[in-house]
Structure 1
């Protein structure tokens, strides 16, 4: 195959570590990773990274809410994927809720794909939803349908999401304990993960109600809701053999319980998010940082970093969950719970990681390799022969303040406004295409692992 491009870097983050490398690209794939001073075929374009740049694999964000169709005024495929590309994310996996219809059957997945087609600047895959259904319609009093789940996997979803408590939107009801067992057993049979919003509804029901101030909101969603949910999920994973993935861990106590489950051989993994690693309850400025589970204390934040370093947590993903600004108005009891951070995730995480002695190898493991593994995206997440040529030229030492007006997401709303963040995404290649724009991305096929 004719070579299309060679990208050379004095520092490239490879699976075996960071070293100088020349990455050869042909037909959108990486065909060689060789010495930086090796020969280049005549006439082949060469890009040499600057001395202050590091070559990273394109990031994979496995937790993104693109709200199109149905709530496109919240976020859409064109704006979300433009934000992703600007932030060094070359693949995202879309969550099954907040759009209407939710991705709970093959027709809904087709509607999602139809809405996305021709609009995406990066590659996009999809999660399905495991929700109780009655006559094919989401209903809290219905049952999870294994047949519909199997059809969705055949149609391309990468796994299934469920909630153990209210999701925030009525068309995506939570599962009961019996339905949780059915969903997990079905995922085990299908060879895909069950990814779970892990807050126990019983614990939340016993907590005091949220008021308009942050302290009362925090008290309404205590760490025990997460730890109780993790214990339930570990037991279900053990009984069914399912791979259960715990979404957006905010409480370090939950990470400790996940570690215990892992050590006992249970197939459980977990993620946290940039906002839990960067923000803190003591200094949260406003409802732009409201999310569920909530941002907790500074001491909890440091313990989360420790859990990440120790491998108790596997991945860091954005949980980009935008909404129009008017839905963030009012107190913490009324505002929509979601943080918009897709474009800023790499810079936020690198700023905190560098300050704590972590390397870009660590960040790539958390933000590219692990999410790609979770979603079964074997062509993504690493600079290696046979992988897609998704690359990022990143300047790790550059520092700039966040200007919300410069972001590509639909609404200029972020808790990081004015924050000085370290790192800059200078160039991005998607399957060898430089500066990917709307229309360059693909809708990825499914398939079990």
Structure 2
């Protein structure tokens, strides 16, 4: 029942938006019965169905090659729908102003002809009945073609086409730029974070933080290679992979993850699960990243020179009885040593504070990925991106290296962040 209450309005909104797009991009810009209108109408039916198929093919267990075929047009169209709708809504003001101007310039309809003057009186004759206008519609002879509907005035048609063309150009430019930003790979960011308990010997320790790689039907082996090259270019002391590595099974995405074997750092690479691992089979991926030479931290801790590194499972694992366990990850540690915690979602920061963690490294938000979803991400996460302090605990959130859904990033490019730890005693 709850599922239906959610799905029905969402589908209604989805198809309602497509109806609006058809009206503004097809109906208002083409002539009835024209080939362009036919093609536009067919596309208005096909594209939303392809997008839905791309969204549902993974959960439905569709063969992976078919998922890949559906993913590019389906997910890119979802991004186009967003920016076409925003651009057309902005264009409504232009449209309204143009129609107002056209109404002022168009001539008014002519007044009906005046009644003819009465004929001069003639010799009296038999009275004739006054003519009564017939209310019976005039019937056309058989075989006479029906009259076409009145044509759209040329100036109004030009205005509709101008608004549609401007919106289409703006949306295409936004999606194209966002796709190119994604496919260029992550940029390297650097941030220095002082830790009060960090000894002088560990001053300058560099952690390459990467999250939300999201290997799937769109982002594959080439994307992994770009991420690995970005990480290795920083020559880090340690690599922290903070969840959401994949969107799919090991059978489908194992080859795409293979370049992770080439990660290089002095103290190795570590991994914690994200919510998408639990959608994809977390157990199989924990085992597979271990085979790739990456150390999973499942509610566990390891000692490194100068500080402890801990990791907790993502909160989505609670549905499988494998959620975050802070007691298991942090109990028995020396409180005099600094501890850095890997936790996928920043919303866990309030639990982290209670356990006296010095620094939490997170991802999950993608920085919002595409404007205006940045506002939604800000409303649902304590920190969307960057560094923030919560009491004695600091939280750093990376924007992630990949994308979920449309391979589009607008305003928030992907990143790998080099966190350099600083000792106050140095």
TM-score bracket for this pair, using the shorter chain length: 0.3 to 0.5
Q: TM-score, normalised by structure 1?
A: 0.31
| Richer in strand (by share) | 1
Which of structures 1 and 2 has the larger relative contact order (alpha carbons within 8 angstroms, sep 6+)? Answer: 1
Q: TM-score, normalised by structure 2?
A: 0.32
